[in-house]
Amino acid sequence: MAESTQTAQSPMSCQLCNNNVVIIKWKCTDCELLLCDNCKINIHSRFKSSDQHRVVSIGDIGNDITDHLKALDISEAKLQKNSIKVLQKFDIECQDFAVNRNSAIIFAPFPRSELHAETSTGDLRTILKASPYIILAIHMNKQGELLLGLREQGPKYPVTDFCTRQVVILDTDILRKATYEYDDSGKKLFSYAVLIESDSDNNIYVVDIISDNTNGRIVGLDINGRKKFIYQGYNILNTHETPFTPTGIAVTSTNIVLVADGQNHAIHALTQKGEICGLQKTENMGIRFPYSLSFDSEDFLLIGCSRGNTEIEQYAKVHAVKTSIQN
């Protein structure tokens, strides 16, 4: 099966003179070339029809979405306090949760070895005992099946051959239907499957954290659990100094995968093949540290933000935005 892999590249070199010492300042969005000052002025300008090409500053990429990445557009409808009504509160400690078709909350309380369901009336029951494994991610697909990220007891890292790092599917009777752990070559698919999403074609997207500093990737699987792609960030935004830090994921009604890149204040938009089709620097909209993503019933994208380091960022925020994906 053909696979595609996008990786963050560092250091970046000029793609005309191949010099990784010079400072890269420009990108031609028609040629898809990264350029230094000298090559922009003395070489690229000599290209046939180059006067019709669009050359933009590296600093503008991701701020003003240019030709290749103009697909993602976000406009904010600020979520005001007076528009929020608390319907019910649950005193639940968990890493992730899902809501089933009966509006019960599915979660795994510490030490995350059991899966519980709590109804709106407060009825609580245990629906799965996962011991000796730890439950990480919890997701319910459109068929009402539960997808769980599991790992063994003990330290998160390093991931060795003796570790168990799985995504399992449970049917509507909470019976194990499938287990995904290895790719076709026998290599582990996941390091730490912290979040799971799926689309209308039953493709699976896993936020996989590969180190303690939240560096991560997106692992895309098809309906049979075969690896479709690995996405490790966009190589202009994500470098060794600013690695890809996926913290939230959501899928649009048209099967575009949105990923929050928390530490870089950005949202990436991916196709079902794992190809980047949009990028938005949310910091320019006053949305810093985007952490979690979810669509509501009116198709607003809710962006939950983690706390920052400044006085005005000491409180977590939720922003409601409209997104549009252009062709």
Q: How confident is the model at residue 67 (pLDDT cuts 50, 70, 90)?
A: very low
Predicted pLDDT of residue 12:
56
CB 294 within 8 A of CB 250: yes
Last residue of a domain, one of 204, 232, 260: 232
Between 326 and 11, the more confident residue is: 326
- 267, amino acid identity: I
- The verdict on residue 158 lying in a domain is yes
Residue 96 has pLDDT above 90, yes or no: yes
Predicted pLDDT of residue 169:
97
Collect all residues with Cβ–Cβ distance below 8 Å to 322 and sequence separation of at least 6.
74, 75, 76, 77, 299, 300, 301
**Mean pLDDT calculated for residue range 92-121:** 91
Same domain, 218 and 302: no
Same domain, 227 and 253: no
- The verdict on residue 79 lying in a domain is yes
Predicted pLDDT of residue 76:
63
- Alpha carbons 195 and 97: distance in angstroms, whole number: 10
How many structural domains comprise the chain?
3
Last residue of a domain, one of 232, 256, 280: 232
Q: Which of 33-37, 212-216, 252-256 has the lowest mean pLDDT?
A: 33-37
Query: Which of 169, 266, 174, 152 has the alpha carbon at shortest distance from 221?
Result: 169
Q: What count of other Cβ atoms lies within 10 Å of the Cβ of residue 162?
A: 7
Predicted pLDDT of residue 64:
39
- The verdict on residue 172 lying in a domain is yes
Mean pLDDT of the chain: 84
Between 157 and 89, the more confident residue is: 157
Predicted pLDDT of residue 38:
87
Same domain, 164 and 222: yes
Same domain, 181 and 208: yes
Predicted pLDDT of residue 251:
96
CB 136 within 8 A of CB 96: yes
The tens digit of pLDDT for each residue in 305-322 reads 987 666 556 677 888 888
The tens digit of pLDDT for each residue in 221-270 reads 999 999 999 999 998 889 888 999 999 999 999 999 999 999 999 999 99
- The verdict on residue 28 lying in a domain is yes
- The verdict on residue 327 lying in a domain is yes
Predicted pLDDT of residue 148:
98
Same domain, 226 and 260: no
Which residues is 279 bridged to in the sheet? Answer: 268
3-state SS assignment for residue 268? strand
Residue 66 has pLDDT above 60, yes or no: no
Q: Report the length, in residues, of the chain.
A: 327
Same domain, 258 and 318: yes
Domain span including residue 280: 71-90+247-327
Same domain, 55 and 77: no
Burial degree of 201 (CB within 10 A; 0-12, 13-18, 19+): exposed
CB 220 within 8 A of CB 232: no
Predicted pLDDT of residue 11:
43
Q: In the β-sheet with 257-261, what is the strand arrangement from edge to edge?
A: 246-251, 257-261, 266-270, 276-281
3-state SS assignment for residue 284? helix
Q: How confident is the model at residue 43 (pLDDT cuts 50, 70, 90)?
A: confident
**Which CATH number characterizes residue 197's domain?**
2.120.10.30
- The verdict on residue 119 lying in a domain is yes
Same domain, 207 and 115: yes
Rounded to two decimals, what is the model's pTM? 0.77
Residue 41: φ, ψ to 5°? -80, -45
Same domain, 312 and 195: no
Same domain, 182 and 197: yes
- The verdict on residue 65 lying in a domain is no
- The verdict on residue 239 lying in a domain is no
Same domain, 54 and 172: no
- Alpha carbons 161 and 152: distance in angstroms, whole number: 12
Query: Which of 285, 320, 187, 197 has the alpha carbon at shortest distance from 247?
Result: 197
Query: Which of 284, 282, 274 has the alpha carbon at shortest distance from 302?
Result: 282
- 160, amino acid identity: T
Same domain, 8 and 39: yes
